[in-house]
Structure 1
């Protein structure tokens, strides 16, 4: 079997081989060198078209030969020195010409790479970083490069647009590309993903249509051997089982996913590429909306409306696409402002994004969380969005059913880290000069963004949060009273937060439920409302302006 380097040289020289090479003449020589057996000879000679014979000859040669030396020797001996030179040459990627626009378009189409929507914004800095990283990794025989970030931040678009915007990648560093849509959330759905990959990677003439799942892995390996230096793009991965299967192919993989944790099963260390912050810059958002045309009255306050949209959506690309489509449908900024003020995650429309709203998009991740992780996320409804909450405080807000001297702080940190890897939480770390009585030498703070907060307010039942707030206030009052005289880093970080929001943690009476609800309301901002969504169902929902502070 040929090495990757020799396979790639054959691919580069394929055009010249199809033009000038007749495999029939080379068969006796290859048999004398014990490269081909009688069965392989019969297969090649049985093909009528010369171009197809060349392709089959190269396919069989990849399987049987260990080096290119026998083929080079044949060309030298029988007067085709130009072909011998092509196979002997050391190819420097930078010296290879760029693909013509039509050739690039065909290669992307053959690889199932999606086209770009008619309205789009190229994030130049991110694209440049991703391009350079793909070039640096191209010298490796195998790798996992994972683009990750919050739902709707543009992971899939970035993976596709880097190939459209930078022809140098497929011209010089990768010979083929294969794009596979995953998006499966149950293991039973994965065979369809694997079969799709086999179909895209394999010559259609070699498939019978009767292949079974047990054959997919061997077929995929064979197909990649015949397509050396292929960049495999796996879009929207949710499951470890999918990662395990593709990891066995030992190839170059660019993956997009919300969850970094599933890539811990790979046999090599994955390279992470974070889209952080998840949203466009204000300039990029303006570029996205500049093609829209508005009446003179709305045009006069255009910048003010854009700033409001940017603030409410955090510039999230998928959400901006939904808002943009709403504007196209209604041509009215004021309607959009009302929708944004009510609940930004619930705004719905059909766009290039596969989810109609951010509630559906985030739910794909949220439904896979454990009960404890969901309880942690519910806590952030009370704290609000963009509020950095100390780890020590979060640990006092979660009910744990444990016994003994287990380290609750580390247990909570472990759950929070999993949520960060799922792109649902943000994390920041600062060093702790004086470790004090803590076993953790770093200070961890966590927060959620506005979109995640809006999702939680629409998803989590109101009574659940009211009960949780009672628990937090009762637990925090008892804790601070018990350790009032202690002076440690842990207590200082908790006190710094509770002192800033004293009313949230004050002692209250729990006998009267109605008075408790009234007390809760006083911690909301003056311009906030606690609203139940009108629905025939018994579910109770809040708007994203509901913050208990």
Structure 2
């Protein structure tokens, strides 16, 4: 079999061969050298056109030759020195250790039309060109180029949360980098996975086989449904010979089986995934690129690129900031908000309030994103977690959004198996890190972990009240232990943010549970009585909390929750009454009425 670097050199010679070469004479020469068999020669000569003969000549040569020397000798023998020199120069460049292997020269880059055609043939989805994340694009481009020159098989992985823009970034990378497709890589093939069923892995690589084969070969292929995995792998390997140095894009990889197949086939892969752990089985060179959420400036820039006009008043500016804060830099959510709002600030404000009060699932819209609802995409990420990680994720509902929380506090929230105090923080930190690897549910900085607003409102919607009640009870028990621990008590005193079920919760849900509200101003009283009244709406505290006794405090707290129950039940009844109330108008016509009685008369 011809080595891959020399396959690439042969492919670069294709245009010259197409203009000035007929395989008939070369077949006789190569058959004498033992490269072609008699059957190969008869098959090539049986073709009626020179283009067909050339196609099958190159196909057989790649599979039976060990190098290009015999073909170079033929062109010298036939007096076609320009072809022999072109091949020899290509081989010398590929073997020169002082030069980067097969780096494309500027004059060989594909034109814009040719690049678009190559992306279309490879099934690459189109990406908007108005918004760019240049730092991530440059990082991914550099990783692909460096690994391509150094490795025969590799994986470049774009990892991030659902909807953050991994597929968008991969598509934009290929469509804006002419040095990648047609230069570093001869072709690209885009495959979407997105399945959690193991038997669907074979379907992904059947698609790869069909993309690698020509039209004539596809028509002559056996029934693919009856193929075993071993037969399919052999067919894919043979098909890859005709497309050396192809870049395979595996989009939305969920299962390790997909990566296992790709490594066994020796593919060069650009992978998008939410779960970083699926790459643990890889032994080939590997590069990770974290696709983080957009920052505030990038989010505002994306809105401008989406034809959302710049705010003209302070009220419009605040609406846009609230939308950016809610979307938390999630590209898919920003697109959904733009499309549903019809580019109007009033409508945008209504959508944000609706999502915060009734849940992320209320925003449904068809966009280029594969899910019509980000709630469904996040549910898919939850399905990938095991039971222990799901329990840890549910506990994140207690944490206010965008608030860094030290590990000392997390140890009172995240459930762990019985372990020593020295191992507790390490165990909790590992659980939070695992949530970050399996869907980017948390963010880490300076030894603290936090959740953003989008995850917070999603968890408020999906975690049921009974689970939250159990989480709070466990937290209260562990806080009492922290109070007696100097280190833990200091950690509590340094965090005034702990106001659970504040304005981010619905009135009904706030009314169900007791508040654990540890605020900086009232730390001594909070730690003594165990609970602290919420000073925010809907009901402010009427007495100085720091100087009131526990019995008065408890009476005020009970009155507060009584009011909350009354208000919540009243709202539910009003909502139900509004749904049932309808007015029916019935119009009857008297058939016996004369024409003179009609309105037209």
Q: Please report how far the alpha carbon of residue 351 of structure 1 lies from its aligned counterpart in structure 2 after TM superposition.
A: 0.9
Instruction: Tell me what 2:118 maps to.
Output: 107
Where 2:105 maps in the other structure, the secondary structure is: helix
Note if 1:145 corresponds to 2:156: yes
Alpha-carbon separation, structure 2, partners of 1:503 and 1:175: 56
- 1:527/1:325 CA distance change after superposition, 3 Å: farther
1:301-322 CA deviation, whole Å, 9 max, x = no partner?
5434322221221232111110
Q: Is 1:377 aligned to 2:373, yes or no?
A: no
Which residue of 450, 453, 456 corresponds with 1:450?
A: 453
CA–CA distance in 1 between the matches of 2:272 and 2:318? 35
Provide closer, same or farther for how the CA distance between residues 429 and 329 of structure 1 changes in structure 2, counting only shifts above 3 A: closer
* Number of positions where the alignment pairs a residue of Structure 1 with one of Structure 2: 503
SS of equivalent residue, structure 1 residue 320: helix
Q: Is the 8 A contact 2:432 2:442 kept in 1?
A: no
Deviation at 1:401, TM superposition (A): 4.5
Structure 1 match to 2:546? none
User: What do residues 108-155 of structure 1 show as CA deviations (whole Å, max 9, x unaligned)?
Assistant: 1111111125x8522233223322332222213221000111111110
Superposition map of 1:395-414 within 5 A: 395-402=411-418, 407-414=423-430
Query: Where does residue 125 of structure 1 map in the other structure?
Result: 135
Q: CA deviation at 1:76?
A: 1.1
Report the equivalent of 1:165: 176
- Answer yes or no: is the 8 Å Cα contact 2:392–2:415 preserved in 1: no
The Cα shift of 1:404 comes to: 8.4
Partner of 1:303: 317
Distance in 2, matches of 1:455 and 1:292, equals 25
Residues 1:427 and 1:124: Cα distance change in structure 2 (over 3 Å): closer
Query: Is 1:185 matched with 2:188?
Result: no
Counterpart pick for 1:210 among 223, 226, 240: 223
Give the whole-Å Cα distance in 1 for the aligned partners of 2:492 and 2:285. Answer: 38
- Is residue 3 of structure 1 aligned with residue 15 of structure 2? no
Once the two structures are superposed, what CA deviation does each residue of 1:412-456 show, in whole Å capped at 9, x if it has no partner? 3333222111133334365xxxxxxxxxxxxx3222111111111
CA offset digits 1:234-291 (Å, max 9, x no partner): 11101101110111121211101111111010122420011124456144223233x2
Equivalent residue runs for 1:224-373 within 5 Å: 224-279=240-295, 281-289=298-306, 291-292=307-308, 302-328=316-342, 332-342=347-357, 345-346=360-361, 347-373=363-389
Is the 8 Å Cα contact of residues 153 and 279 (structure 1) preserved in structure 2?
no
Residues 1:393 and 2:403 are matched in the alignment: no
Moved more, 8-17 or 61-70: 8-17
TM-score by length of 2: 0.77
Shift of 1:30: 0.7
Equivalent-residue separation in structure 1 for 2:454 and 2:497 (angstroms)? 26
Q: Is the 8 A contact 2:147 2:285 kept in 1?
A: no
CA contact (8 A) 1:473 1:504 kept: no
Tell me whether 1:17 sits opposite 2:11 in the alignment: no
Over aligned residues, Cα RMSD in angstroms?
Answer: 3.1
3-state SS of paired residue (1:173)? coil
The structure-2 alpha-carbon separation of the partners of 1:188 and 1:325, relative to structure 1 and needing over 3 Å to count, comes to same
Q: Which residue number corresponds to residue 546 of structure 1? A: none
**d(CA) in 2 for partners of 1:180 and 1:329?**
33
SS in 2 for 1:415: helix
Q: Could you tell which deviates more after superposition, 183-192 or 173-182?
A: 183-192
Q: Which runs of 5+ in 1 are unaligned?
A: 431-443, 485-490, 506-513, 536-549
* Partner residue, 2:75: 75
Distance 1:292 1:41 in 2: 64
Q: Which position in structure 2 is the counterpart of 1:434?
A: none
Deviations 1:52-78 (A, max 9, x none): 211111111111111101001101110
- Counterpart position of 1:464: 467
Which residue does the alignment assign to 2:580?
none
1:497 and 2:492 equivalent? yes
Question: Measured at CA, do residues 343 and 56 of structure 1 come closer, stay the same or move farther in structure 2, by a change above 3 Å?
Answer: farther
In the alignment, the residues of structure 1 paired with residue 534 and residue 254 of structure 2 have an alpha-carbon distance, to the nearest angstrom, of 36
- Correspondence 1:506-521 to 2 at 5 A: 517-519=513-515
Residue 285 and residue 503 in structure 1: after superposition, are their counterparts in 2 closer, same or farther (change >3 A)?
closer
Aligned mates of 2:308, 2:126 — CA distance in 1: 22
Instruction: Tell which has more relative contact order, 1 or 2 (C-alpha 8 A, sep 6+).
Output: 1
SS at match of 1:233: strand
Structure 2 CA distance for partners of 1:405 and 1:116, relative to 1, 3 Å: closer
Contact 2:389 2:435 in 1 (8 A): yes
| Aligned CA distance change for structure 1 residues 471 and 164 (closer, same or farther; 3 Å) | same
Between 1:519-528 and 1:465-474, the stretch displaced more is 519-528
Secondary structure class of the residue paired with 2:158: strand
CA distance in 1, matches of 2:431, 2:420: 19
Once structures 1 and 2 are overlaid, which stretch shifts more, 67-76 or 190-199?
Answer: 190-199
**Equivalent pair of 2:22/2:54 in contact (CA under 8 Å):** yes
Separation of aligned partners in 1, 2:572 and 2:455? 21
Distance of 1:213 and 1:368 partners within structure 2: 27
Larger radius of gyration: 2
Query: d(CA) in 2 for partners of 1:58 and 1:412?
Result: 59
Residue by residue, what CA displacement relative to the aligned partner does 1:7-33 show, whole Å, maximum 9, x if unpaired? 111111112212222111111111111
Query: In structure 2, how many angstroms separate the alpha carbons of the residues matched to 1:338 and 1:273?
Result: 34
Query: Structure 1 residue 88: deviation in Å?
Result: 1.3
In structure 2, distance between residues paired with 1:127 and 1:95: 20
- In the superposition, the TM-score normalised over structure 1's length comes to 0.83
